[in-house]
Amino acid sequence: MEYGLRKYEAWQRFLWFVFLLLCILLAVPFHEAYLGLVSETPLKNTSMDMVKSLEFWNQRHWLHAKPLGSWLAYLAWVLVLFLVGRVLWLVWQLFGKWLLARTFPTPETQVRERPAPGTGAFSDLMMRRRAPDPLVRWSLDLRRSLLRFVFHPYQRALFNFGSPHGALMADDLLDRQHRLAEIDWQVISGTWVTFRWALRLLPLLALFQTFWLIYQQVQPVLTGHKDVQELATTLMPSILPFVQVMMVTLIFALGYGLVSRLENLYLANLDALFYDRLLSTMPIRSSDTLLILEALQKHFRDVSQMLERLERSMSARR
């Protein structure tokens, strides 16, 4: 079971790493196309009346300014694609959970297809293990289904119920389901670490870009090539990188909070789906039950033989 759980965790981490690489690569054409739509020339009139207008605060000419303007736009597009991708992934997995729930074997099916009782509890259990259990057949169908490659609920169900030996014991399934749930929560929560670090880095880069633009505006005044009175109006556009990036960072933070909580809700509902709809309806089949029943059967056989010997000895005395 340890091998299967490690394989499941490694596969999930690999998929999320591929998703991050796709966001990084796809951000390149989006970033270049976006910069092509942004004007490189700022507004000429930067009076105080213009500062109060929305047109002034919507200027994005600084994205073409060196050294970090283009990098800020690229990093923002990576975060946009990451958030949009997580939303699309969440919607897709909710659809997969709905499809998986429709394929679950119902309790009525398990009761109806249960084998006829034998001469004892041990024989009943052995017949039940050899019988084509609907849950075992359902797990075999999971292995043949192509949906396991695109839906996370199918992958989790396959690693939980896809036993290659065909013996599904309740205690093993419960333990495996609990550990799979912990893996999912840790992996999906850990995939946001890169996003959070990029979200912290974005304002710092914007602050550096703002200081650099201010330095470029102040340097002519220090060298005497520009009047100090002109400095007030020329410095205002220099603060645009920090102000705009802070607003974008706030939007990203709100999006992260919303999407991460929706993902937590999805995982909680997925856990409830496996526990309430499937595992709770299974008959109790502990892996120790066979050993206990074998020991009891041997004990009853010994007691029966002792009683037969006592009966024979009492008959011989008579």
Segments making up each domain of the chain, as ranges: 2-287, 292-318
Residue pLDDT, tens place only, 34-47: 988 888 776 665 66
* pLDDT score at 132: 42
- Listed residue (159, 113, 156) closest to 135, CA to CA: 113
Q: Find out whether 213 and 62 touch, Cβ atoms under 8 Å.
A: yes
* pLDDT score at 83: 97
User: Would you state the structure tokens that stand for residue 213, as one six-digit string?
Assistant: 């633009």
Whole-angstrom CA distances from 273 to 96, 181, 183, 210, 285 are 12, 12, 17, 51, 20
* pLDDT score at 131: 36
* pLDDT score at 178: 87
Q: Find out whether 16 and 191 touch, Cβ atoms under 8 Å.
A: yes
Q: Cα(177)–Cα(274) distance, rounded to whole angstroms?
A: 8
* pLDDT score at 86: 97
* pLDDT score at 224: 62
Instruction: Tell me how many degrees the CA angle 290-296-298 measures, rounded to the nearest 5.
Output: 100
For 116-139, give the DSSP string.
PP-SSHHHHHHHHHHS--HHHHHH
Q: With 0-12 CB in 10 A as exposed, 13-18 as middle and 19+ as buried, what is 159?
A: buried
* Dihedral (CA of 113, 114, 118, 123) sign: positive
* pLDDT score at 108: 53
Residues 6+ away with beta carbon under 8 Å from 111? none
In which residue ranges of the chain is pLDDT below 50?
Answer: 110-111, 113-119, 121-122, 125-132, 284
- Listed residue (300, 208, 206) closest to 247, CA to CA: 206
